[in-house]
Copies of this chain bind each other. A is one copy, B any other.
Amino acid sequence: MNGARSLLTTLVDAGVDVCFANPGTSEMHFVAALDTVGGMRGVLTLFEGVATGAADGYARIAGTPAAVLLHLGPGLGNGLANLHNARRAHTPMVVVVGDHATYHKKYDAPLESDIDAVAGSVSGWVHRSLRPADIAADTMAALDAARRGVVSTLILPADVSWSDGAGPAPAASEPEEPAVDGDAVRAAAAALRSGERAVVLVGGDATRAPGLAAAVRIGEATGASVLCETFPARLERGAGVPAVERLAYFAEAAAEQLAGARHLVLAGAVSPVSFFAYPGKASDLVPDGCTVHVLASHRGAAAALEHLADELAPGSTPAVAPSTRPALPTGDLNAFAAATVIGALLPEGAIVVDESNTAGVGVAAATAGAPAHDVLTLTGGAIGYGIPAAVGAAIAAPDRPVVSLQADGSALYTISALWTQAREHLDVTTVIFDNGAYDILRIELQRVGATSGAEPGPKARELLDLGSPAMDFVQIAEGFGVPARRVRTAEELAAALADAFAEPGPHLIDAMVPSLLS
């Protein structure tokens, strides 16, 4: 058995049966092995950032890693931004990067580059397989690491892929759940019983129903505020699910949510910091005089919260979000009207992939009482995540509707993911919030102006404008094989969403909304 077949066999035997791929010549033996090793679904993407974003979306929903196949250093580079997001989401993923044959590297052929250095910047585990006999064990090691919540990168030289001599795989070791830290639970309990203002910040594996239920029980019993990290990897919410507010993106608003807290209990979340630094503003959002208590890191946070809830409020049951939908609005579309329409129509069991950025400001409120759904967010801030993640989520959960809320500027980084949606006939409804600008940057530029006292000039403003020429997302989507239409009113959006939800396969709706600044 050659290395490629050994790799595929090991993955499939361990339950990894989807591979998002954008292969090249050095991966041809891996590609050829797809037909000799059964059980692996190869999903072609037109760009590596689509493959890595799709694998992230897949794993967040499936709970198990997907494989990704990339071509040498440049392919890894193209996939890097969404690997960065995956790293921040603690998404399990096995990235296979094909490389030149071991003996070929010294010739510094045109595609030679330092794959290891680039992979190291996003991977919790990096290894280069040097012999076919090692492949099975290396693959299991990659998988073991991935299952602990990291991006694992296995570099596969072409000759190791094509040469015979592969051996059997060692047994899989299911990762153990981290033990609950009794001392941390007791310390948090004491802080929460102190009567001083406290905030519980949940993240990691505590942002699904069990962890949220425990957190809300704690809040109800102690008066503590319960917040969710700003960009959870996967947040369960909607009717019947205990509701938590998310920590705000802008530091000023986050500081307000945390103001006066004397205790901050971190349950799967990291200590809150400003997304960016601003002149004269603090980076650390923990208020002065507030003690930070680390209850648990991203794995085991739900279990730790359950222990804490049982300590503080034994036998209690948390309040859950009521089932309420906003009425369908009418008239001209804007960001809030669009959000309201989405809240009114969000289908049962939806997966919402949210890269709507500034334009999505109204979505959380409008969907709070919609049927229970999962939200995947931009954990690492590297835009171009949404459309690819929707691909992966739809493959992981073919029976659930995927609603991809997408800012226009961010959509253009990985727009070809629409083609994979069409090719795989995925049930994804993409809503483009089309305001013709990098609105978040226009807001940031205003902040620069407010700081420096100088109004932004025409060159700066022009560099944040997407309206000249206006992009036609309907044509672009149809060019990639996804049916699309443009909407300018709430009624048109409602009709388009209803049609898209009713018909299987991908759809795109270009929702024309004015800039928040206009």
A residues apposed to B, CB below 8 Å: 21, 23-26, 28-29, 31-32, 34-36, 42, 44, 46-47, 49, 73-75, 77-78, 80-81, 84, 88, 100-101, 103-104, 107-111, 113-114, 117-118, 120-122, 158-159, 162-163, 231, 270, 273-277, 279, 283-284, 379-384, 409, 412-413, 415-416, 419, 422-423, 440-441, 444-445, 447-449, 451-452, 454, 456-460, 462-466, 468-481
CB closest chain-B residue, reference A47: B413
A28 surroundings in chain B (CB, below 8 A)? 441, 444-445, 447-448
Contact of A480 among B36, B409, B452, B476 (CB under 8 A): B476
Question: Is the CB–CB distance between B118 and A284 below 8 Å?
Answer: no
List B contacts of A283 (CB < 8 A).
101, 103-104, 107, 109
> With the chains together, A348 CA to B78 CA distance in Å?
36
Contacts of A122 in B (CB 8 A): 113
Q: Write 26 A-B pairs (CB below 8 A) sorted by A numbering.
A: A23-B441, A28-B441, A28-B444, A28-B448, A31-B445, A31-B460, A34-B460, A36-B454, A44-B465, A46-B466, A73-B84, A74-B80, A75-B81, A78-B81, A84-B113, A88-B110, A101-B277, A104-B274, A110-B379, A158-B276, A412-B416, A422-B469, A469-B481, A471-B480, A471-B481, A472-B478
Complex Cα spacing A111 to B380, Å? 6
Counting every copy of the chain, the complex holds 2
Which B residues are CB-close (under 8 A) to A110? 88, 231, 275, 379-381
CB distance from A206 to the nearest CB of B (A): 18
Per the bound structure, the CA–CA distance linking A273 and B103 in Å amounts to: 12
Please, how many angstroms separate the alpha-carbon atoms of A118 and B122 in the complex?
10
Of residues A36, A419, A463, which shows the largest number of chain B Cβ atoms within 10 Å of its Cβ?
Answer: A463
Q: Closest Cβ of chain B: how far from A439's Cβ, in Å?
A: 12
Choose from B42, B114, B413, B479 the contact partner of A462 (Cβ within 8 Å): B42
Least Cβ distance of A116 to chain B in Å? 9
Q: Which of B108, B109, B117 contacts A121 (CB 8 A)?
A: B117
